[in-house]
Structure 1
């Protein structure tokens, strides 16, 4: 039973009258009361609202729409790589090695899409690491005999019984299996994967149904889709997938949206049937180039949260030597300079802060997790730069570029000269079995290089330091660190090798960023790359140093940001949809010029002269314009002028459009306007429509406090219950100042939007999440609103 009080703020007769007016106008007014069976109160802000299905959100989320994690305030999500299972005679990383007390979620990598368009991990059998393999004699790896399956899945289920707060998700796809899969013999089958699946709704239905069956069978808490990539950017993703991806570029995003919508609907139905909420998440690109071809990233509404792949931002696919996963831009990124990003736009986009703000434009901070790599990227034969940073490294023979890079795809930018041998322990092989030069190493190997240690595992990875000079530890690997970028790296001046790394200093700084911005947490690829020192052997090996640092920092970081808007929104809602479409394809998508279509699904006419306001991400300059004869103004602007050295200054740019006086939008009708912006943004959000002296928020935002259950809200905008006003929704006017009776502001305390404090003789209201920002110092557009003297 619910322990929340059921409050009636209006007499029944008044409620009936208000309901009748709301029906007539197509308006929904959120209700205070939420029954134990109506989970609307727990639905996270902005998550897709599916009518007619009583989705048990309260199984996973609390009454504020924040995820319940059994203690920690923020997520610590680790990918578990199934192939570290000992089958290749390399060191194992098994389920017992997971630091179960230091993670909140585990993403199991990977399942794939088989030839029947179903999720699969291959045929059962003793050599199947997922469901059949066993590890006799390994402490903690004893199978649970009560389960019908063995392998990693058995151990995951076994350890979850002892750690019930840790959620497990099956991750589908990944770089190697987005467009195909590896069969039971290890041969890649090029079946198209996500690229062809998303072409056909019947195939999507088959896949989504199979996911429901799969997670029920193996006890997963949800599914993580790792589709690399649904973008119109040419030659993006795995070169093995180009046959399928290139001719479909114009429709990939639409297919992705259909896939994620269908998957969410099927999971919702299963959740309602089982009384257990099943999550849907995605690993998403952080590259501004890929995101420019991803339209307005319309899938965010179907995700419980997005895991940002804020790594691989620089790598040997081109000549620009830089950090794998910088937190900030420094204004001197060689790749950004090459493309005139600073002189044209004033900001660089190959950094974690920029990617976070891209998604923050359409999602609450708490539904966003940044990614960190537990592996390196690197080049050899580097020239210029500062100890290699922002130097250059081009492969000498550009006719031999790895597939998908340089001359192989007709690029004007040379492919890089990737590090090899001892500097490339975790390398991939190409289709002919040759080493792909990329400087990829687990962090524990990078620590051994840094300390000049020749470890005992080189033979396990096919290295021969006796006979091959490239496989020897040669020269000094000196650690460097940029506090501006928040990025460490190793520089070997003898070999001119640059390896971008992560360590405790950078991890702690990123954890501080997560806490300060109110983010949901962190995701990392992948668990077996973490390190600890083995004093008996005198070398670094697999461990949990970085995971422990993340957990310790985030465990008491305070509640994450649970709302999209940073300020007050209207209490009344109008059923109006807003879509962006008609994007140009690939490199032609500049300037970005979609059609914004406003569809009136309510029962009241939107008159000419009405104003439509919305926020959009600060990843684009504050200069949006229109080409359809409407009036559009920008401001207030969250970030203006100068580069984004040290991070973008705010979350949102703001735009206001006036519908032409001659253009009424009748019920069921639409109006369209061409808008123009210059750098990628995810979907605009926090819409506010004003006419007739009143302002309304729009249903397209899927705001909290509305939902389904015994008394679902009619999607036409007609409430089926007596409407009242929700006290959790910010009012449209500021509260009166009153006496200085509000609690005194404390620099160490976390404040959320709507919290009141007193400070230096004034009352103040927090507009959004904040900590350590003193009232009176944040300016007109800052976090604290001055309510006057007291």
Structure 2
């Protein structure tokens, strides 16, 4: 479940990861780099985005990040659950797919509309990396991010929600007090559960813009402020309990339209800072070659017909935010670690500001977009490409006279002018999209050298927290035990506690209480607690607490009510999805057994289930029974008969296989369904098309 998303300032319609069209409409006054008039800060922020899908075909893992080069890592992206699903079905988007909302174990969950959920549970929390153990509650990219704090304990990690593809529900969430409350509460839960230090909202865009199918309304302008205010309220309350400061940031568009559609001054008073996306000013959505992120306005661009060149540059975008009331120290300037290219550009001006045949037909991962490390290795003054410099816009560009390809990009020299601009304006620092684009750390080294981040990286923390004291039971039922203990201390700081049932990890919490549920009545259990810190050090175990759950008086013999309204909500050639209305019980319903005829097909805790491995074009009859902790089972629900979809024949399409090289656009079949390859890669076990939507799109 990958958000195939590119973090952009201006996009109207999108291609895979990167949008390939742009709505250019409103002109703002131009601004140029002026002599320094603001005091340089002692400590700047360097914020790097890491997209979850980088760990797939791009083969750039969290462990490849140097955490000493950045102050904050924004993990992209989490999504918003609505009516039990997340994703964006808009056919104009780069990945028009939806999935059921799932937890860290890839189990379907039933949560209120507006809840923040994992974007890709397998890569986010499920995939095991070197050093992971079978019993740890969280694996995947998120656990790897937490490990980076062992190298740089000053590092802060932030979960970014939405992005270009997944902004379809923001307007609905912001529209009512109830959904704003749900979103804000879920933000706190998400940060606590996965050990993030803050939340970043990447709503593209309020009121207008973004994908055509996104929810949007004129009231977004005021509602966005209300949503952020509610999140701030909940984060501050949680921080007071947890003894830490939770961060709240947004990613903003750089256009005058964005400033007009938001209350930037009010937003700036609420958030910790704003990451302005000062890039993607020009691209393959237009036929004339121009620069991806020009610092200054170049009159030659306007003379050549580049759309809105006086407004679409870094200085104008940043000044627009400052003029709208954003304090300079709360504005973090966006820098792209990629370039954009055009083909068929006339040789005049070395391809710059020329009419071209269209966007480049090649790129690093998708046509028209070139990661900086790829430009270093294969393009800059190599293979027929010559580097040129625009001294007005303060950006480099490449031109190949043989194939007539023009590429605009940023390098260490242009970033040097942008860091000088940051200092001259007293801005808060730099943000970049994204870490995998600079594998040689060339651009990160430049940002780090130019923008002091304050302090030094402390040595690796190897000191474990003290042992939790006075572990005790504070409540017992037939099915649960509540424990409490005295807080531990640590040389850096305690981040949480692991509670063990015997030798097995029962739960992890950030506070000093925990309730362990799902226990058997009248049974003895022994619990211990260990404290942990950000470096991963675990304390010794607390004193053991042995406690017995209570026996049900006379035994609970009352079965739950039968589930009702069983219906089928989706069918494929090999699966059927069901939903039903919840049962009730005198003690509590613990789950549901779903039957295919008389055979148990699956057991779930929520009120939806997907039964897979079915034959195409075949009828099946399902019923559902509820159960409680005492083992009582309800009568069966109403029966529902439903047929799987018929097979679609695809002559010449081969079955998916492991250890096979696939190219973008290639079709394969898997479990009776046809998939299209989205990124070139060599297949591995575990990368089956149904498991990895970043690589395969269901047809």
Residues 446-475 of structure 1 show CA distances to partners (whole Å, capped at 9, x for unaligned) of 22332577xxxxxxxxxxxxxxxxxxxxx6
Equivalence for 1:377:
340
Q: CA deviation at 1:426?
A: 2.2
The structure-2 alpha-carbon separation of the partners of 1:452 and 1:507, relative to structure 1 and needing over 3 Å to count, comes to: closer
Distance 2:233 2:381 in 1: 54
Distance in 1 between the 2:304 and 2:225 partners? 30
Alignment partner for residue 360 of structure 2, among 419, 428, 432? 419
User: Out of 426, 442, 466, which is 2:371 matched to?
Assistant: 442
Distance 2:448 2:227 in 1: 33
Partner in structure 2 of residue 134 of structure 1: 128
The partner residue of 1:237 within 196, 204, 210 is 210
- Deviation at 1:291? 3.5
* Match for residue 92 of structure 1 among 54, 59, 77: 59
* Structure with the higher fraction of residues in strand conformation: 2
Residues 75 and 158, structure 2, Cα contact 8 Å, conserved in 1: yes
Partner residue in 1 for 2:511: none
* CA separation of 1:249 and 1:486: change in aligned 2, threshold 3 A: farther
Distance in 2 (CA, whole Å) between partners of 1:503 and 1:224 is 27
Counterpart-to-counterpart distance in 2, 1:146 and 1:157: 17
1:503 aligns with 2:411: yes
| Residue 336 to residue 204, structure 1, CA distance change in 2 (3 Å) | farther
Q: Structure 2 length normalisation: TM-score?
A: 0.52
Aligned to 1:512: 420
- Are the equivalent residues in 1 in contact too, given 2:276–2:331 (CA < 8 A)? yes
Corresponding position of 1:82 = 52
Asked whether the 8 Å contact 2:338–2:370 carries over to 1, the reply is yes
Distance 1:383 1:291, change over 3 A: farther
Deviations 1:421-450 (A, max 9, x none): 3xx2222xxxxxxxxx5x112111122332
Query: Would you say how many aligned residue pairs link Structure 1 and Structure 2?
Result: 389
| Contact 1:488/1:501, CA 8 A, preserved across alignment | yes
Is the 1:112–1:121 Cα contact (8 Å) retained in structure 2? no
C-alpha contact (below 8 Å) 1:334/1:390 kept by paired residues:
no
1:306 deviation in Å? 0.5
Shift of 1:98: 1.1
Q: Is the 8 A contact 2:163 2:202 kept in 1?
A: yes
Counterpart of 2:270 (choices 294, 302, 316) is 302
The match for 2:314 is 352
Partner of 1:168: 157
Secondary structure at 2:124's aligned position in 1? Answer: coil
Could you tell me which of 257, 275, 279 is aligned with 1:311? 279
Which secondary structure state, in structure 2, belongs to the residue aligned with residue 250 of structure 1?
coil
| CA gap 1:383/1:224 in 2 versus in 1, 3 angstroms | same
Contact kept in structure 2, 1:143 and 1:155, CA below 8 Å: no
**1:336: Cα distance to partner?**
9.3
Counterpart among 192, 195, 198 of residue 216 in structure 1? 192
**Cα gap change, 1:121 to 1:484, in 2 (>3 Å):** farther
Q: Secondary structure at the match of 1:280?
A: strand
Alignment of 1:580-659 (within 5 A): none
Contact 2:171 2:217 in 1 (8 A): no
Change (3 A) 1:295 1:521: closer
Match of 2:43 among 64, 73, 82: 73
The answer on 1:226 being equivalent to 2:155 is: no
Contact 1:144 1:154 in 2 (8 A): no
Q: Distance in 1 between matches of 2:454 and 2:185?
A: 38
Report Cα offsets for 1:149-203 as digits up to 9, x if no partner.
Answer: 1111112222214422111100001112111xxxxxxxxxxxxx21322222211
CA deviations on 1:612-634 (whole Å, 9 max, x unpaired) are xxxxxxxxxxxxxxxxxxxxxxx
Alignment of structure 1 residues 315-714 onto 2, 5 Å: 315-334=283-302, 348-361=310-323, 362-383=325-346, 386-393=349-356, 417-421=358-362, 424-427=363-366, 437=367, 439-451=368-380, 476-530=384-438, 542-555=439-452
User: SS at the partner of 1:332?
Assistant: helix
Could you say what secondary structure the match of 1:259 adopts? helix
Distance 1:521 1:272 in 2: 27
* Closer/same/farther in 2, CA of residues 351 and 490 from structure 1, 3 Å limit: same
The match for 2:139 is: 150
1:34-86 deviation digits (Å, cap 9, x = unpaired): xxxxxxxxxxxxxxxxxxxxxxxxxxxxxxxx999xxx721111111111213
Structure 1 contact 515–557 (Cα < 8 Å) conserved? no
Listed as ranges, the gaps of 5+ residues in structure 1 are: 1-65, 137-141, 180-192, 342-346, 395-416, 428-436, 454-474, 531-541, 559-790
User: Once the 2 structures are TM-superposed, how far is the Cα of residue 305 of structure 1 from its aligned partner?
Assistant: 0.3
C-alpha deviation, 1:268, in angstroms: 1.7
Shift of 1:556: 7.0
Give the distance between the partners of 1:326 and 1:146, measured in 2 at CA.
Answer: 50
CA drift of 1:391 comes to: 1.7
2:180–2:227 Cα contact (<8 Å) kept = yes
CA distance in 2, matches of 1:373, 1:213: 32
CA gap 1:336/1:197 in 2 versus in 1, 3 angstroms: farther
Distance 1:201 1:556 in 2: 38
Residue-by-residue CA offset, 1:181-240 (whole Å, 9 max, x unaligned): xxxxxxxxxxxx2132222221121111101000011111110000111143xxx223xx
SS at match of 1:277: coil
Structure 2 residue matching 1:198: 3-state secondary structure? helix
Structure 1 position 201 matched with structure 2 position 177: yes
Deviation at 1:516, TM superposition (A): 2.6
For 1:374 and 1:211, the matched residues in 2 are separated by 29
1:335 to partner: Cα distance: 8.5
Aligned counterpart, 1:110: 77
- 1: distance between equivalents of 2:43 and 2:343? 41
Encode CA deviations 1:731-772: one digit per residue, 9 max, x unaligned: xxxxxxxxxxxxxxxxxxxxxxxxxxxxxxxxxxxxxxxxxx
Q: Match of 1:523, SS?
A: strand
TM superposition shift of 1:543: 2.3
- 2:125 partner SS: coil
Compared CA separation, residues 478 and 442, structure 1 to 2 (3 A) = same
| Partners of 2:300 and 2:127 in 1: CA distance | 50
State the secondary structure of the residue aligned to 1:223. strand
Q: How far apart, CA to CA, are the structure 2 residues paired with 1:293 and 1:389?
A: 33
* Offset of residue 121 of structure 1: 8.0
Separation (CA, whole Å) in 2 of partners of 1:379 and 1:557: 40
Structure 1 pair 271–121 and aligned structure 2 pair: CA distance change class (3 A): farther
- Structure 2 CA distance for aligned equivalents of residues 264 and 295 of structure 1: 16
Relative to 1, partners in 2 of residues 1:146 and 1:279: Cα closer, same or farther, differing over 3 Å? farther
Query: Is the Cα contact below 8 Å between 2:306 and 2:353 reproduced in 1?
Result: no
RMSD between superposed Cα atoms in Å: 2.9
Cα separation, 1, equivalents of 2:77 and 2:219: 25
Q: CA deviation at 1:287?
A: 2.3
Decide whether the 8 Å contact of 1:196 with 1:244 is kept in 2: no
Higher relative contact order (CA 8 A, sep 6+): 1
Change (3 A) 1:358 1:325: same
**Partners of 2:365 and 2:294 in 1: CA distance:** 21
SS where residue 229 of structure 1 aligns? Answer: coil
The gaps in structure 2 that reach 5 residues or longer are 1-38, 87-99, 107-120, 456-699
String of CA shifts for 1:480-539, please: whole Å, max 9, x gaps.
111221111111222221111111111122122222322111000000000xxxxxxxxx
- Aligned partner of 1:18 in structure 2 is none
CA contact (8 A) 2:74 2:158 kept: yes
Q: CA deviation at 1:125?
A: 3.8
C-alpha contact (below 8 Å) 2:336/2:410 kept by paired residues = yes
CA contact (8 A) 2:284 2:341 kept: yes
